[in-house]
Amino acid sequence: MTRLVRTAAGWAVSHDGALRGLGATLADLLALPLAEARARYEAAAEPMDGARSLAPVDAQEVWAAGVTYQRSREGRREESGHAALYDHVYSSSRPEIFFKATAARVVGDGEPVGIRADSGWDVPEAEVGLVVNAAGEVFGYTVGNDVSSRSIEGENPLYLPQAKVYTRSCALGPAIVPVWEAGPGPFPVSVRVERDGAEAWAAQTSTARLARTHDDLVSWLTRALDFPAGVVLLTGTGVVPDRDFTLRAGDVVTIDVGGVGTLRNPVTVVGTGG
């Protein structure tokens, strides 16, 4: 399997550990129709020396969908007193879609993800990320962690942007696997949190449990938005810790999506207390 990786030296196609320079940016690739992007990708041939990998975005915004799994609906109901609101969005034709991060705010594999200093209940959200081109076609998949403050969102649904959008709240990586390499899924998804060398929490699910199709989510995102450089859309989480678990500084979160990759990030505190 080949993968598209972003390194300190530029974008490259990785195959069995060997890197071949793409000679273009991800934004260049996603500006093309899928067939042309595949031809450009498969033509990468210039050897590239190994270099530190970075988060696999350059000019793309990151958006996310919520309440797309039964477990995520239950989790939202547990954290708030607005159960009917989440029941409605789960069954409605229009999904919940929200802005998550600019490319500059995304952290990559091995970099610290953040939990807010003014939040007392924080969780990882293991998700499959769709890498979508300017025409609204899914180019590939990546692994995502949509770190969230459940205490802030649970206090009031209107606080969702503060619960979701802050420094180091989004991790992506370690690479992008094109759709023609990974296939359509479903993909197994697992998450593990280590604390002081031991497992603090773990869970698994499958994208087969997703209540909406990838194409449906993309169609809603692109209905009234243009993304000339492409976009990453996180598809929601099917694994949510119970109330007695919260992330702490020093934890290590590992998310694995079968056929796509493994994303591993330590946890740090960002911001100031309220």
- Residue 133 shares a structural domain with residue 39: no
* pLDDT given for residue 72 in this prediction: 56
Statement to judge: residues 142 and 238 lie in one domain: yes
Find out whether the peptide bond into 174 is cis, omega within 30 degrees of 0.
yes
In the predicted model, is pLDDT for residue 17 greater than 70?
yes
**Same-domain pairing of 72 and 131:** yes
Q: Name the domain count of the chain.
A: 2
250 shares a domain with 153: yes
Its domain, for residue 44, covers 2-53
Kindly write down the DSSP assignment for every residue of 58-124, as one continuous string: SS-EEEEEES-SHHHHHHHHHHSS-HHHHHHHHHSSSPEEEEEE-GGGEE-TTSPEEEETT-S-EE-
Give mean pLDDT, residues 242-269. Answer: 97
> Do 24 and 117 have their domain in common?
no
CATH of the domain at 152: 3.90.850.10
pLDDT digits (tens, 9 = 90+) for 190-218: 999 999 999 999 999 999 999 999 999 99
Same domain assignment for residues 36 and 133: no
- For residue 93, with 0-12 CB atoms within 10 Å meaning exposed, 13-18 middle and 19 or more buried, which class applies? exposed
* 186 and 74 inside one domain: yes
One domain, residues 227 and 264: yes
Query: Using one digit for the tens of pLDDT, what is the confidence trace for 71-112?
Result: 555 655 565 666 677 777 888 899 999 999 999 999 999 999
Q: Please, are residues 167 and 271 in contact by the beta-carbon 8 Å criterion? A: yes
Among 10, 30, 53, give the residue marking a domain's end: 53
| 64 shares its domain with 24 | no
The residue out of 15, 36, 53 marking a domain boundary is 53
b/e code 111-130 from CB counts within 10 Å (16+ = b): bbbbbbeebebbbbbbbbbb
- Domain termination site, one of 53, 81, 96: 53
| pTM for the structure as a whole | 0.94
One domain for residues 38 and 69: no
- 174 and 186 assigned to the same domain: yes
pLDDT digits (tens, 9 = 90+) for 161-175: 999 999 999 999 999
Element (DSSP H or E) covering residue 41: helix 34-42
Q: How far apart are alpha carbons 80 and 89 in whole angstroms?
A: 15
Which of 144, 254, 247 shows the shortest CA–CA distance to 192? 254
Same-domain pairing of 38 and 123? no
